[in-house]
Chain A
Amino acid sequence: MAAVAIQAENLDKWFGEGEARTYAVRQVNFTVPFGQMFYIVGPSGSGKTTLLSMISGILRPNGGRVVVAGEDIWRLSPDALATFRLHTLGFVFQDYHLFPRLTTLENVAIPLILQRWEWSKAMAAAQEMLAVVGLQDRGELRPMQLSGGEQQRVAIARALVAKPTIIVFDEPTASLDGATGKMIIGFVKHDILNDHRCILIVTHDNRIFPYADQMLHMEDGAVVKLDTGGSLEK
């Protein structure tokens, strides 16, 4: 079996205290090796985003452990954790969150700028990454001048530019039409995923289920089923 990318152990997360305490995630365990597309699926409110946030070092669990690329991330200091995210993880948010006042190219370069790259070098690397997602001639446009699918690809380019090993997608196809959604996830599976990477996807969208290598089904914060039948892609 390939090296472990992500290991979640007995993860708990609750909100509120005392009477009002409600579990968003309860006793979740799973392991993802490198080279896989790992899906977290389930009905609304089942705890998918909460789980994804804990795995990606954004939301501190109330209990349990998360080991990402060999690092027990919740034992890191907040600054060390931020640095770890910056170098190891790439994020694609549902609403992209691109700066409307920056060009596409500048938006893509942001993780490199945060890594203290020189401006011109960061721009050159961002340009290369835009080419990877097929937007090499859109660098000077503002995000608003792009279509939804193109914006999604810009967000992917931003997530990939610092060459992270773990890439996290939250509802990547929610704002896209079916065909575009499938195209983008297909692209991610074929061109982004490799043996040294692991991709986590939270989704409702069953049209992209076929790309999954493992699928974690959640309900009311708990895991109800883990499909590990290998790639379901036809």
Chain B
Amino acid sequence: MKGLFTLAFKLLVNDRGKFAALIIGITFAMFLMVQLTSIFAGILQKASANIINLGARVWIMDPAVNNPLNSIPLPDTVLAAVRSIDGVAYAVPVYSGASLVKLNNGTYQPVTVIGLDDTTLVGRPQLLEGKIEDIYGENAFIVIKDQEYVKLGNPTLGTTFELNDHRGVIVGIAQVTTSGLFGMPTLYTTYGRAIQYIPTQRFTAAYILVEPKSEADIPHIKAQVAALGYLALTKEEFIHRVSNYYKFQTGVGTNILIMTVTSFLVGLSISGQTFYTFVLENLDKFGALKAIGAKNRELIYMILFQAGFTGLTGYGLGVGLSSLLINIAVRKVPGYAGTITFFNLGLALMMLLIIVCFSSYIAARKIIRVEPFEIFRG
């Protein structure tokens, strides 16, 4: 078999023009596919930044919430009701809202303000500078050091600013795993201070964060919350809901889908076309091989080997190119959204397999049909 594969390999790479077209075509298709889906994955991840960063197991929200940006305030009675549900270890409110900060140089900057439950500070970020207890100090805020941090003028401990005519002071610098999609710096403070500083409606809690006593309690909690007329989602479900919002309710998902399908079709047609031409050009030789005693099966293995080899090479190059670019972009472009996930890689690999199978199929079909007798007849 090794000899047959060597032969197949030589037939493939010795035709430099076609081999180059194949590799470039598949590499390009794979690159685009991985790149596009990674950008989308990056957008989705950033869109769910709060959910990921606050890290609560179960989130309670108004059923109309589909996107963490437009949270709908919950009445305090819900908090009390949730706390009395069996299986709830604890439940705390969290504030999440946007506001304007006036910097010392007089300019305004929109920010996201997260207000953590005063007693427990559930969802606190990991501090790089300062102590978490300082959040209880007068006018205290913690700033997140992410790509948007510079927009606040690179504040240090003690930097002051104004927020709705209230004085604010930075008491801590923290980091979170995921920064937001909307290019706004994030400030953390206590729930109490957040609703005091930022004008709100009668209802104030954006979400209620729940820690169940055990995983088994979650279905019960969800049912009880539903009975109250609200929605309880696990962290994963909430992220999924946000993804679906971007996938299906905004143009982003559709466009990425169209582009991904297009690059798939480009790869498919280049590869299919090239393999077909390759077989067509060598059809008489394949017929001669059959006359000499090659079995259809062996010729198909050769084609599969060629298609598999070019496919995997193109996949490797495409994925490599994409990770390289995303890596550079993440480092150089603030707020760049792009994450290569295993799902993306798997999806591209699946597309590749379809391309390989399709190309082999149309090539093999031609080879199976060639009659050695026709070769003799000339």
Interface residues of B, count at CB 8 A: 29
Contact of B11 among A58, A101, A111 (CB under 8 A): A101
Is B373 among interface residues, defined by CB-CB distance under 8 A? yes
Inter-chain CA distance A59–B10, complex, in Å, is 30
Q: Please tell me if the beta carbons of A119 and B378 are within 8 angstroms of each other in the complex.
A: no
Is A114 among interface residues, defined by CB-CB distance under 8 A? yes
Q: How many A-B residue contacts, CB cutoff 8 Å?
A: 85
Contact of B7 among A58, A84, A113 (CB under 8 A): A113
Q: Please tell me if the beta carbons of B292 and A91 are within 8 angstroms of each other in the complex.
A: yes
Q: Please tell me if the beta carbons of A101 and B15 are within 8 angstroms of each other in the complex.
A: yes
Is A191 among interface residues, defined by CB-CB distance under 8 A? no
Q: Please tell me if the beta carbons of B14 and A114 are within 8 angstroms of each other in the complex.
A: no
Contact residues in B for A89 (Cβ distance below 8 Å)? 293
Central interface residue in B3, B284, B285, B289, by most chain A CB within 10 Å: B3
Q: Please tell me if the beta carbons of A106 and B293 are within 8 angstroms of each other in the complex.
A: no
- Within the complex, what minimum Cβ distance (angstroms) separates A68 from chain B? 13
Is A12 among interface residues, defined by CB-CB distance under 8 A? no
Contact residues in A for B293 (Cβ distance below 8 Å)? 82-87, 89, 111, 114
Q: Please tell me if the beta carbons of A170 and B376 are within 8 angstroms of each other in the complex.
A: yes
Q: Which residues B1-60 have CB closer than 8 A to chain A?
A: 1-4, 6-7, 10-11, 14-15
Nearest CB in chain B to that of A99: its residue: B285
Q: Please tell me if the beta carbons of B10 and A93 are within 8 angstroms of each other in the complex.
A: no
Contact of A94 among B3, B285, B287, B378 (CB under 8 A): B378
Nearest CB in chain B to that of A94: its residue: B378
Is B375 among interface residues, defined by CB-CB distance under 8 A? yes
Is B329 among interface residues, defined by CB-CB distance under 8 A? no
Is B123 among interface residues, defined by CB-CB distance under 8 A? no
Inter-chain CA distance A177–B91, complex, in Å, is 98
Nearest CB in chain A to that of B284: its residue: A97
Contact of B378 among A83, A86, A95, A158 (CB under 8 A): A95
The digit string for B282-301, where 1 denotes a CB below 8 A from any CB of A, is 10110111111111001000
Inter-chain CA distance A111–B6, complex, in Å, is 14
Nearest CB in chain A to that of B18: its residue: A101
Nearest CB in chain B to that of A96: its residue: B288
Interface residues of A, count at CB 8 A: 36
Contact of B376 among A53, A114, A122 (CB under 8 A): A53
- CB contact under 8 A between A98 and B285, given known A49-B376, A58-B376, A59-B373: yes
Is A118 among interface residues, defined by CB-CB distance under 8 A? yes
Contact residues in A for B1 (Cβ distance below 8 Å)? 116
Inter-chain CA distance A86–B295, complex, in Å, is 10
Q: In terms of DSSP, what is the predominant structure of the interface of chain B? A: helix
Contact of A53 among B11, B284, B373 (CB under 8 A): B373
Nearest CB in chain B to that of A60: its residue: B373
Q: Which residues B267-293 have CB closer than 8 A to chain A?
A: 282, 284-285, 287-293
Contact residues in A for B4 (Cβ distance below 8 Å)? 113-114
Contact of B10 among A53, A101, A158 (CB under 8 A): A101
Is B202 among interface residues, defined by CB-CB distance under 8 A? no
A-B contact pairs, 28 of them (CB 8 A): A49-B376, A52-B376, A53-B376, A58-B372, A58-B373, A79-B295, A82-B295, A84-B293, A85-B291, A86-B293, A86-B294, A91-B288, A91-B291, A93-B288, A93-B291, A93-B376, A95-B284, A99-B285, A102-B10, A106-B7, A113-B6, A114-B294, A114-B298, A116-B1, A118-B2, A119-B2, A122-B3, A158-B292
Having A112-B3, A114-B292, one finds 15 other A-B pairs with CB under 8 Å, namely A53-B373, A79-B295, A86-B294, A93-B376, A94-B376, A95-B284, A97-B285, A97-B287, A97-B288, A99-B282, A101-B10, A110-B7, A111-B292, A113-B7, A114-B294
Closest 8 CB pairs of A and B: A86-B293, A97-B288, A101-B14, A113-B3, A85-B293, A59-B373, A58-B372, A82-B293
- What residues make up the interface of A, taking CB atoms closer than 8 Å to B? 49, 52-53, 56, 58-59, 79, 82-87, 89, 91, 93-95, 97-99, 101-102, 106, 110-114, 116-119, 122, 158, 170
